[in-house]
A and B are shown apart, each in its own frame.
Chain A
């Protein structure tokens, strides 16, 4: 009887069997738990943006004419009832200027710094928080600096928010061309009021770039595709955003080679600022500033058909002040 090889104790052996069986069971359970759990990745939920308009302020417009952009804004605001009708101290106001291109302000491709600064100052005077943003085609930081808008915003007490990839989500848009699209959703979801501050420009594809077209700067994704149905898209943008207020910057008009321009010869002084709550009407007014008949702009007709506003200014309450 040879000595049998020394083995581990029975207790240890049972312990080992239990331990290894537990591990084996874990392996099996892992396979079972995750079985087809993510076979088809879940589809992203569509986001929705709220209606930013203030009750009882619809169908109103004020126009101011003169040379000083800041004075024009404060005069027009006074005419339409003052900023406190639209913004209060509890608000987070998102201001959307046109900062689309890498151009200095005098070339008329972007919103004037004086006009934007005054809008920001007015909102800040109510005690609200003010964020200014845009998603340009050119490099965002460069656009904001060279257009003079960073200086304008910060001197008035506002903050510039540059677009980042994490801000963009697929959001419901409109009814004609794009039911949903990738949009700079995070700042929109955090804002309680939105004020568009577009500048008045001709556009080689859609005739004029005014307040409805201005919301294009909130889009992300492959928006270069949208040119194929530009008029339906712009009408959809008006479905997407119902603003608190729009400040149409007509101090400089880009009358040739819009929307990018590039030469002083493309720009003409406009000496006008219009403020209102009906973006279709404001665009109608802006078109006439450029010498274009509003009925010739397809997206205006489509927007009116969708009930988003009025082309005929007689349907609105218009306050006018000249020679500021």
Chain B
């Protein structure tokens, strides 16, 4: 069975990478690119609690939860791609000394912390503050892949070919830094994240309580040698009472036991399996109160409102901010699929509550008019699936506006430097154009020149940022988009 487990780990990890690769312009072709995000019951339940909705294919997570009720934490060892990566790094950092190995794989009371984190996240979700996506393993892995692995891989492949644009993500160092830290923590304890932090593991651990079968030790055969512990991934005490909430079903103990005393039992003896989750009443209620406090603390900054966030430009199709924050898993799938690299995980642009949510950063890209890929891949519908017709409003409906462009006359070349330009007008993709020009005579005496000075028509501008991105005054562009006028907000417009 251990061989099967390793096979499935590699298979699902490869599948994760392949689906991730397909989440790109021209490659999607209907493949279920969000399959892994959908399969996480933590994402499903948290999004359900905060938005009263199970969007698109997220029902898959509920099926996984259902199977966990029957079989235990099979997801952690057989499917989870992050688990596979941590498994791999734990193997790299493996201790040679047997005694040390056993010590490192022994149960620690700190393993309760993942349950505390789970309760905090679920309490926040129940109060409408969705932060579970920050700590969900699939979400975390997708986000890390999106900002680091994907651009790095693309860049190295293209190194020998023609020079191609590298995808830039200002939040990259933060996200990768966290990931590298988690990788290195496997040297301290194998599968550190899985045992001490993972809230999805905690959720599945709670569900394992009811599993119909479990790995169980035959006391008659057991020599009490403790060898089953030396490679135990979940640190679940297979040598005494196996904790079903911690057991990751990696099957290492079965293989390691010289007496073949451990095996899967369908009707296991209660004496050899501990189904209780080891969390004290104080920790349980403290976590609920802590979660409520965290939710209030986050909301106290007014992040769900529409004032004071001039860089919080959301992707087209995003819902009104309170609904958006109640659905966004911060998975980074939209940032991955965006062909123009304009979608970025926010650091401070959307406040603390909006940390890692997608915002448009026109320094690194612009929003292509005839593209709605971000909505196609958003698992929870925080960004709605839009057809191009719905997005552009063709032929006679209002288009989706992500914001409005404002000309900075102090920096604009024709306005302040007496030379012609109007690149912004040229690249403006809507028809009729949202940028018109005001004619003026050159200020340099003796020179007979007509200057064309750009002016934005707010009722036509859709806030796509092409103008900002193409403005030749590239360090602080002379035309900049802010969220004012975004169509997703009922009172978002400053223009009547």
Contacts and interface: CB of A to CB of B under 8 A. Distances in A.
A314 interface: no
A137 interface: no
Interface string A1-32: 01101111010110011011101111110111
- Give the bracket for the number of chain A residues in contact with chain B: 35 or more
Contacts of A40: 319, 381, 384
Contacts of A20: 69-70, 210-212
A19 B212 CA distance: 9
Contacts of B48: 30, 34
Interface stretch (A76-84, A151-159, A225-233): A225-233
A41 B323 contact: yes
A34 B54 contact: yes
B31 interface: no
B494 interface: yes
A6 B217 CA distance: 11
B44 interface: yes
B67 interface: yes
A304 B466 CA distance: 46
Interface in B390-449: none
A225 B62 contact: no
Contact of B54 (A5, A7, A37, A178): A37
A45 interface: no
Contacts of B216: 5
B69 A31 contact: no
A177 B69 contact: no
Nearest to A24: B66
Interface string A244-282: 000000000000000000000000000000000000000
Contact of B212 (A3, A16, A41, A44): A16
A28 B63 contact: yes
Interface residues of B, number: 48
Nearest to B219: A5
B269 interface: yes
A3 B211 CA distance: 25
Contact of B268 (A8, A34, A39): A8
B211 A30 contact: no
B66 A39 contact: no
Nearest to A8: B267
B76 to A, nearest CB: 17
Interface in A24-75: 24-28, 30-32, 34-41, 44
A142 interface: no
A225 B268 contact: no
A96 B319 CA distance: 36
A19 B91 CA distance: 38
B59 interface: yes
Contacts of B70: 20-21, 24
A114 interface: no
B269 A8 contact: yes
A13 B267 contact: yes
A182 interface: yes
Given A17-B212, A41-B323, A225-B495, A31 B52 contact: no
Contacts of B220: 2-3, 5
Given A7-B267, A38-B51, A31 B58 contact: yes
A36 B493 contact: no
A34 B45 CA distance: 11
Contacts of A222: 491, 494
Contacts of A127: none
B96 interface: no
Interface string B139-152: 00000000000000
A34 B52 contact: yes
Interface string B257-298: 000000001111111100000000000000000000000000
A25 B70 CA distance: 10
B61 interface: yes
Nearest to B56: A36
Contacts of B265: 5, 7
A83 B121 CA distance: 60
A270 B273 CA distance: 91
Contacts of A229: 496
B320 interface: yes
Contact of A27 (B53, B56, B66): B66
Given A41-B323, A177-B496, A228-B495, A35 B54 contact: yes
Contacts of B268: 7-8
B63 A31 contact: yes
B494 A5 contact: no
B368 interface: no
Given A35-B59, A37-B52, A5 B269 contact: yes
Contacts of A26: 66
B334 interface: no
B55 interface: yes
A12 B60 CA distance: 30
Nearest to A32: B59
Contacts of B130: none
Contacts of A25: 66
Interface string A81-98: 000000000000000000
Contacts of A28: 59, 62-63, 66
7 contacts: A7-B267, A8-B267, A20-B210, A39-B384, A177-B496, A221-B491, A225-B496
Given A8-B268, A39-B381, 15 more contacts: A2-B220, A5-B272, A7-B267, A7-B269, A27-B41, A27-B65, A27-B66, A28-B62, A34-B52, A34-B54, A40-B381, A44-B490, A222-B494, A225-B493, A228-B496
Q: Which 4 A-B pairs have the closest CB atoms?
A: A31-B62, A24-B66, A31-B59, A38-B53
